[in-house]
Chains A and B, each alone.
Chain A
Amino acid sequence: AQSVTQLGSHVSVSEGALVLLRCNYSSSVPPYLFWYVQYPNQGLQLLLKYTTGATLVKGINGFEAEFKKSETSFHLTKPSAHMSDAAEYFCAVSDWVDTGNQFYFGTGTSLTVIP
């Protein structure tokens, strides 16, 4: 089965600073990887995904992530944090099991942006 590890359950950055949220995966097949963001009292919104092709993936709100097979990583970055980026971020890997696709989520990283 696939799995995802998010290092750091809480990350704080100053407004304007680099955002780096870490995600490492375990997969027996080429992975399909996703980042989602969750704002308070809301559902998850897709930020970006990697399936095949270019290993640097650009998403919404200025976020991007790089797939590194040798490091089994898919870290999320943003060059300059904004107050509106404060949220919970989840990394996920998808897998095919018998009858359908399943997502396996990390435990999440809560991002705080300090003014």
Chain B
Amino acid sequence: NAGVTQTPKFQVLKTGQSMTLQCAQDMNHNSMYWYRQDPGMGLRLIYYSASEGTTDKGEVPNGYNVSRLNKREFSLRLESAAPSQTSVYFCASSEVATRDQPQHFGDGTRLSIL
């Protein structure tokens, strides 16, 4: 049972470099999400996709772009990485974008920007 798969698991970038974080789910879920987790701040939503073909900004979208490639895949791109984007990034999915649906998380991508 793969669930939500994120690649890569670890990455080190230099300031100004670009990178795409990949996420794929095999649960036939309609909704997908990207979060960042920073010490003492919990998880904050970056972008989400309620359904295939739609994307919307979350709480902290600046410096990021997303693509919902198909129903399974939802990627997060950093165009010009900054040290403030050093974080652990989590992708999540839910069956539908309703309030009672839990979200299922991947194991995260640990990103360091020097």
Contact = CB atoms under 8 A, between A and B. Distances in A.
Co-assembled chains A and B: yes
A107 B99 contact: no
Nearest to B98: A101
B34 interface: no
A98 interface: yes
Interface string B34-47: 00000011111100
Q: How large is the interface on B (under 10, 10 to 19, 20 to 34, 35 or more residues)?
A: 20 to 34
Chain B CB within 10 A, most for which of A9, A42, A102, A106? A102
Please report whether the interface of chain A is mostly helix, strand, loop or mixed according to DSSP.
Answer: strand
Contact of B99 (A90, A95, A105): A95
Interface residues of A, number: 26
Contact of B90 (A44, A51, A96, A98): A44
14 contacts: A41-B108, A43-B4, A43-B106, A44-B90, A45-B105, A49-B100, A51-B99, A96-B98, A99-B50, A99-B97, A101-B94, A101-B101, A105-B42, A108-B42
